[in-house]
Amino acid sequence: MKIALIGAQGVGKTTLAKKLRDKFASSYIVKETVRECPYPCDQLADFKTEWWVLSHSILEEKEAEEAGHSLIIADRCLLDISVYTKLIAEANDGRITAGKRQMIDRSISEWLSESPYDVIFFIKVDSSVWQSRDLDDGFRSTDIGWYSLLTKEFESAIERFDVAKKAKLITVSNNGKIDEAFAQICAQVQDNPQFRSKLTVSAAL
């Protein structure tokens, strides 16, 4: 079973991914490859950034599939790359041309068809709650305007790639205790009939 946690920075994707890994045996997190990218990221990204993240994310997912993990958890997924690529291309400053943006989106669409996610969880946090959290890790932007723009673009990307027809799409609000969001995600994972027999809850939990 392959799932993805998507959404803007600071909504709790990585925390939720780690909690899922700890709960289910034979699970694996496809980490945020962008944190290892040697090129400028976030608002300063360019084509090299997005193509590097795209290729490395696909390789990470492919290796996880070949390793036979019963639950693959993508902390972010290829939709994130489309979101950032669109915003950078629309800056019209040459960092990503229209042609290169189309090449990236085409590659994402083909991979979503070749190796689809079973469930995609869109994690959202109200702006007022997001601003109240300590999110300054020296890597992510803490600009509320950028956060709001990213959230809007995720909604657009979900429509653009027709995600609801390619995977089960579930929106999860993480405005209170993260355990509530975690419980909602766990219920969807455990109730998936195709993979229920493959997923083993850790005896420690």
Q: What is the reported pLDDT for 192? A: 76
Q: What is the reported pLDDT for 185? A: 95
Q: Is the pTM of this model over 0.75?
A: yes
- Domain total in the chain: 1
- CA 191 – CA 4 distance, rounded (Å): 16
Mean pLDDT by 10 residues, the chain (205 residues): 92 94 91 89 92 95 93 92 94 95 96 93 92 74 86 94 92 90 92 65 48
Q: What is the reported pLDDT for 19? A: 95
Phi first, then psi, for residue 5 (nearest 5°) are -110, 115
Closest CA to 151 of 5, 6, 4: 6
- CA 10 – CA 48 distance, rounded (Å): 24
Q: What is the reported pLDDT for 201? A: 57
Closest CA to 15 of 146, 128, 116, 135: 135
Q: What is the reported pLDDT for 191? A: 84
CATH number at residue 47: 3.40.50.300
Domain containing 44: what range?
2-201
Q: What is the reported pLDDT for 197? A: 58
Q: What is the reported pLDDT for 195? A: 61
For residue 195, what is the DSSP state? T
Lookup result for tokens 């915003």: 87
